[in-house]
């Protein structure tokens, strides 16, 4: 079965610091990859996704992620975080043709003003 691993469980940064959140998955076939964000008290929202093509994907709010097939990774980056980026971030892999999403454990990001 597929699994998704997010290396950082809790990250604390100051505003304007750069962010990189790690995500690795176990599936060796064709994958669809996602990053979702959950702001405090809100539901999950899609940040960005990779289905095919350019492995560097740009999402909303200045986030981007790079798909590195050889490393089974899909790390999330942002050059300069803001206080409003405080949230929980989830990496997810869509499994084959079932449409099922396999989520990582989540990373809580706290940005200090």
Partner 1 sequence: NAGVTQTPKFQVLKTGQSMTLQCAQDMNHNSMYWYRQDPGMGLRLIYYSASEGTTDKGEVPNGYNVSRLNKREFSLRLESAAPSQTSVYFCASTRGLTDTQYFGPGTRLTVL
Binding site for partner 1 (CB under 8 A): 4, 6, 9, 32, 34, 36, 42-46, 49, 51, 90, 92, 94, 97-106
At its nearest, how many Å lie between partner 1 and the CB of residue 52? 11
Smaller CB distance to partner 1: residue 70 or 98? 98
Q: How far is CA 68 from CA 55, 62, 112, in A?
A: 7, 20, 30
The residues with which 92 forms a beta bridge, in sequence order, are: 34, 103
Smaller CB distance to partner 1: residue 26 or 105? 105
At its nearest, how many Å lie between partner 1 and the CB of residue 48? 10
Smaller CB distance to partner 1: residue 22 or 106? 106
CB–CB of 2/94 below 8 Å? Answer: no
CB within 8 Å of 22: residues ≥ 6 apart: 6, 7, 8, 73, 75
Eight-state DSSP code of residue 69: G
Smaller CB distance to partner 1: residue 6 or 73? 6
At its nearest, how many Å lie between partner 1 and the CB of residue 93? 11
CB–CB of 58/48 below 8 Å? Answer: yes
């Amino acid at each position: 079965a597929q699994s998704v691993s997010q290396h950082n469980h809790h990250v604390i940064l100051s505003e304007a610091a750069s962010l990189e959140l790690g995500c690795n998955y176990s599936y060796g076939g064709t994958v669809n990859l996602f990053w979702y964000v959950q702001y405090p008290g809100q539901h999950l929202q899609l940040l960005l996704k990779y289905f095919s093509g350019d492995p560097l994907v740009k999402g909303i709010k200045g986030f981007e992620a790079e798909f590195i097939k050889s490393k089974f990774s899909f790390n999330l980056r942002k050059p300069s975080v803001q206080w409003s980026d405080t949230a929980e971030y989830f990496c997810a892999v869509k499994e084959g043709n079932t449409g099922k999403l396999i989520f990582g454990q989540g990373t809580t990001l706290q940005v200090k003003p």
